[in-house]
A = this chain, B = another copy of it.
């Protein structure tokens, strides 16, 4: 789909974070040294990353902030649209028309955390994620919550995910239900899961999972 080049995982992680940095960066240009100062990454690493994605617009004088941001977003398959969507900038080598389809996602598990995410500004910033649904096994929970998003009992998961063309899920259920729910999500057609539970999910190779358990993170900073 988007993945023009095969980017190493470590580089992908840095690039995603770099997009956020570039968005906040006020100045026109930015050097690898400056990025290094702001992040703690080595200058070489940054240049190497950009080399890997075939960026060669720096030419000894630093990178043009917006141009770099554009390129990285392209390569990662995330849209930056938002602020400067002057798509009319020709010159670029983007022969492949990046389809501007927003990414639809759902939140599975509407406890305190999941419910908070419904209102979190996930679609903001300028990345186009659309929260299309929230699910919970507890039907009362679904009814009680007020939100601008549509909430459903978990029993309707399969149906709703297909109808709304949802491809990604944030999993915030109890640990004991995590694997079961992941299985159901995958069966319904989900291809990427942000796993906020504390368990390791076993999924097919084709499914991408990112683990961001708060408890695990705490144990790692000890």
> A residues touching B (Cβ–Cβ < 8 Å)?
2, 12-13, 16-17, 19-21, 24, 37-41, 76-78, 103, 105, 112-113, 115-117, 119-120, 122, 125, 127, 129, 168, 170, 175-176, 191-194, 196, 198-200, 202-203, 208-222
- A–B Cβ pairs within 8 angstroms, 18 of them: A2-B222, A12-B220, A16-B219, A16-B220, A20-B216, A24-B175, A41-B200, A112-B120, A117-B214, A122-B214, A125-B215, A129-B215, A168-B218, A168-B221, A194-B214, A196-B214, A209-B221, A210-B217
Q: How far is the CB of A49 from chain B (nearest CB, A)?
A: 13
Partner of A77, one of B13, B103, B222: B222
Give the distance in Å from the alpha carbon of A17 to the alpha carbon of B218 in the complex.
12
Give the distance in Å from the alpha carbon of A125 to the alpha carbon of B60 in the complex.
53
Give the distance in Å from the alpha carbon of A194 to the alpha carbon of B212 in the complex.
10
Partner of A200, one of B21, B120, B175, B193: B21
Partner of A176, one of B24, B127, B191: B24
Q: How far is the CB of A123 from chain B (nearest CB, A)?
A: 9
Q: How far is the CB of A218 from chain B (nearest CB, A)?
A: 6
Which B residues are in CB contact (< 8 Å) with A176?
24
Which B residues are in CB contact (< 8 Å) with A170?
214, 218
Which B residues are in CB contact (< 8 Å) with A13?
216, 220
Q: How far is the CB of A46 from chain B (nearest CB, A)?
A: 12
Partner of A38, one of B77, B194, B200, B211: B200
Give the distance in Å from the alpha carbon of A24 to the alpha carbon of B201 in the complex.
13
Q: Closest chain B residue to A78 by CB distance?
A: B219
Report which residue of A112, A127, A193 has the largest number of chain B beta carbons within 10 angstroms of its beta carbon.
Answer: A112
Give the distance in Å from the alpha carbon of A90 to the alpha carbon of B19 in the complex.
52
Which B residues are in CB contact (< 8 Å) with A217?
194, 210, 212
Q: Closest chain B residue to A118 by CB distance?
A: B112
Take A40-B200, A116-B115 as given contacts and tell me if A222 and B17 are in contact as well, using a CB distance cutoff of 8 Å: no
Cβ-defined contact, A16 with B216, below 8 A: yes
By Cβ-Cβ distance, the 10 closest A-B pairs, closest first, are A192-B221, A212-B212, A116-B116, A210-B217, A208-B221, A112-B116, A39-B200, A194-B217, A20-B198, A16-B219
